[in-house]
Amino acid sequence: MKRAADDPNVAAPSLDVKRLREDFPVLQRSVRGRPLVYLDSAATTQKPRAVIDAVARHYAEENANIHRGVHLLSELATTAYESAREKVRALLNAADVREIVFVRGTTEAINLVASSYGRGRVGSGDEVLITAMEHHSNIVPWQMLCEEMGARLRVAPIDDRGALDLEAFERLVGPRTKLVAVTHVSNALGTVNPVREIVAMSHARGVPVLLDGAQAVAHQTVDVQALGCDFYAFSGHKLFGPTGIGVLYGRAELLEAMPPWQGGGDMIASVTFEKTTYNVLPYKFEAGTPHIAGVIGLGAAIDYVQSVGLDRIAAWEDSLLAHGTALLEALPGVRLVGTAPDKAAVLSFVLDGVHAHDVGTILDQDGIAIRTGHHCAQPVMDRFGIPATARASLAFYNTLEELEALAAGLRKVAEVFA
Residue 371 parent element (H or E): strand 371-373
Residue 137 or 389: the one with the smaller Cβ distance to ligand PLP is 137
CA distance 354 to 333: 10
β-strands 334-336, 276-278: how paired? unpaired
Residue 135 or 284: the one with the smaller Cβ distance to ligand PLP is 135
Q: Which residues in this chain contact ligand PLP in the complex, by CB under 6 A?
A: 42, 105-107, 135, 137-138, 183, 187, 212, 214-215, 235, 376
Residue 207 or 211: the one with the smaller Cβ distance to ligand PLP is 211
Residue 157 parent element (H or E): none
Q: 169, exposed or middle or buried, with CB in 10 Å at 0-12, 13-18, 19+?
A: buried
Integer CA distances (angstroms), 313 to 224, 386, 396, in order: 19, 32, 6
Residue 265 or 373: the one with the smaller Cβ distance to ligand PLP is 373
Distance of CA 353 to the CA centre of its chain: 31
376: left (phi > 0), else alpha (psi -120 to 50), else beta?
left
Integer CA distances (angstroms), 241 to 190, 229, 288, 344, 357, in order: 21, 24, 21, 20, 28
Q: Is the CA virtual torsion 399, 402, 408, 409 positive or negative?
A: negative
Residue of 331, 376, 386, 400 with catalytic role: 376
Residue 137 or 220: the one with the smaller Cβ distance to ligand PLP is 137
376 is catalytic: yes
CB of 103 to ligand PLP, least distance (A): 9
β-strands 268-271, 346-351: how paired? unpaired
CA distance 201 to 211: 14
What single letter denotes the amino acid at residue 88? V
Residue 178 or 237: the one with the smaller Cβ distance to ligand PLP is 237
Which residues are known to be catalytic?
376
